[in-house]
Amino acid sequence: MSWLALTIGYAADLVFGDPRRLPHPVRGIGAAISALEKVLRRAVRWERLGGVILVVLIVGVVYLSTYLLLKAAGPFWPVRVAIESFLIFTALCTKGLADEPMRVLREVERGKLEEAKRLLSNLVSRETKDMGEREVLRACIETVAENTVDGIISPLFYLALGGAPGMMAFKAIDTLDSMVGYRTERYLKFGWAAARLDDLANLIPARLSVPLIALSALILRLRAAGALKVALRDGRKHESPNSGLPEAAFAGALGVKLGGPSVYFGARVEREFIGDDLEPLTVEKAREAIRLMRVCSALAMLLTLGVMVGKEVLG
């Protein structure tokens, strides 16, 4: 019945998004990471070893607790489906990945650039205070592209591969990377294991994203060939081994140029440009990116559903 849980959980995400008042497993994982980091920094002398222990404990506990919870609910399939549906609902972010950038775009349209930058700062790790309108729009498209993998394709990939425990283990890895996987003085060694494991976990999903984005572009009558061309040409022009691929595919599909210099934690980072300047960066282009993400999400869900139904039929 995992296919039923996926259908319910995916539909719930499309309708409700990320309600702040509901208990959220990822917020619980984040609290556990913060608490354990403090303990390990005091107890373990070598920062890199402490980071490895953090990753092993968090990912292991999340996987095992999810597995045991579902095993306990096993004889009662409606309870199991309800639990799986809730976990899938909380692991996906299609609605949130549309709604939050749209709030930024509405402020840009109103001419309220400062408010747009304030809202954008909640979505990206780069500094937004000195951005112009073009940089705000570029950052919106880039965060939609990158999170299409992190927030949709990867969770669905690990759901198909390892069920809800595999999906939640990925969410633990993703949360670890977002909290400690920075190249700052504080986290360069301590966050090394989290960052490397996140790179490894997204390796296959990031590459699967390219044909999915190209097919989505074809459905929307955008530049499907451009998505493939730019992904192959510019996908490696990024400090991350994975993020450049969906960004390049989005850039090619939209006919815009992404990348370029950004400021992170007070330091200017010179990033290579991705894509071609075929069309101007506009609010409508950013909206096209959101539509592209939504179609890509639907395709990824249908592909995952097919895999899960096939697994159940074949036994």
Average pLDDT over residues 38-48: 95
Most confident of 14-23, 115-124, 233-242, 292-301: 292-301
Give the integer Cα–Cα distance in Å for 63 and 65: 6
pLDDT on residue 158: 98
Helix (H, G, I), strand (E, B) or coil at 136: helix
Give the integer Cα–Cα distance in Å for 256 and 251: 5
Percentage of the chain beyond pLDDT 70 is: 99
Average pLDDT over residues 164-178: 97
- Tell me what the pLDDT averaged over the chain comes to: 95
Helix-helix angle 113-120:133-148, to 10 degrees: 30
Residue 266 has pLDDT above 80, yes or no: no
280 secondary structure, DSSP code: -
Q: How confident is the model at residue 315 (pLDDT cuts 50, 70, 90)?
A: low
Residue 132 has pLDDT above 90, yes or no: yes
74-118 per-position pLDDT tens digit: 889 999 999 999 999 999 999 999 999 999 999 999 999 999 999
Phi-psi label, residue 199: left if phi above 0, alpha if psi -120 to 50, beta otherwise = alpha
pTM, full prediction: 0.95
The structure tokens listed for 117 are 């930058």
CB atoms within 10 A of CB 91: 24
Residue 267 has pLDDT above 80, yes or no: no
207-262 per-position pLDDT tens digit: 999 999 999 999 999 999 999 999 999 999 988 999 999 999 999 999 999 998 88
Phi-psi label, residue 123: left if phi above 0, alpha if psi -120 to 50, beta otherwise = alpha
pLDDT on residue 236: 94
